[in-house]
Amino acid sequence: MAWERTARADRGEPSQRRLRVGESLRHALSEVLARDMLRDPDLAGQSITVTEIRVSPDLRQATAFVCPLGGADMEAVLAALGRAAPFLSVQLGRRVRLKNTPRLTFVADRSYDEASRVDRILRTQNVARDLVDGAGSAKPTGDDHGRS
């Protein structure tokens, strides 16, 4: 059992506890942001998605990956969230029971941008042609086991 924890730590994989804490923090932070409790003008009326929270092994640091909806200025939103981090930490401490409330840092989540870029590439004519050519050139092999 102990060797499994060591092997997982060597691979850099988060433990089940870190994953559970991160998910609890994500839900709590999403709730706080949805209630529009922040008075910063850069966050007024902003709808912000919290896609993931990664927690450090000692549970003292938490990195929140966020994405503002509606094409808001990402840099302004990140700066405003950074200013609001102490308040947000207090709110998280009230909602999630931990020995220490983690210090929050906010990072732009670019995964949606990357997914849409890959989707655009897959929809190009060259890729569509290759997919059709690849599917059309497959030779039938007979039944399931390759026997004719």
Structural domain contains residue 99: yes
Residue 16 placed within a domain: yes
Residue 70 — left, alpha, or beta (φ > 0 → left; ψ -120 to 50 → alpha)? Answer: left
- Which helix or strand (DSSP H or E) is residue 140 part of? none
| pLDDT of amino acid 72 | 72
pLDDT per position as a tens digit, 21-36: 888 999 999 999 888 7
Contact 110, 74 (CB under 8 A): no
- Residue 27 class from Cβ within 10 Å (0-12 exposed, 13-18 middle, 19+ buried)? middle
Average pLDDT over residues 13-26: 86
Dihedral sign computed on CA atoms, order 110, 111, 112, 115: positive
Q: What average pLDDT does the structure give for the chain? A: 79
Domain tally, the chain? 1
Q: Residue 110's closest CA among 55, 56, 52, 54? A: 52
Q: What is the pTM of this model?
A: 0.69
What does the alpha-carbon distance between residue 92 and residue 4 come to, in Å, rounded to a whole number? 31
What pLDDT, on the 0 to 100 scale, is given for residue 140? 46
142 vs 49, which has greater pLDDT?
49
Question: Which of 19-23, 36-40, 84-88 shows the lowest per-residue confidence on average (mean pLDDT)?
Answer: 36-40
Q: How confident is the model at residue 42 (pLDDT cuts 50, 70, 90)?
A: confident
pLDDT in tens, 56-80: 998 899 999 998 887 678 888 899 9
Q: Closest Cα to residue 108, out of 50, 25, 55, 42?
A: 50
**CATH code of the domain containing 45:** 3.30.300.20
The reply to whether 50 falls in a domain is yes
* Residue 68 resides in a domain: yes
pLDDT band at residue 136 using 50, 70 and 90 as cut-offs: low
Question: What sign does the CA torsion over 61, 67, 68, 74 have?
Answer: positive
Residue 89 lies in a domain: yes
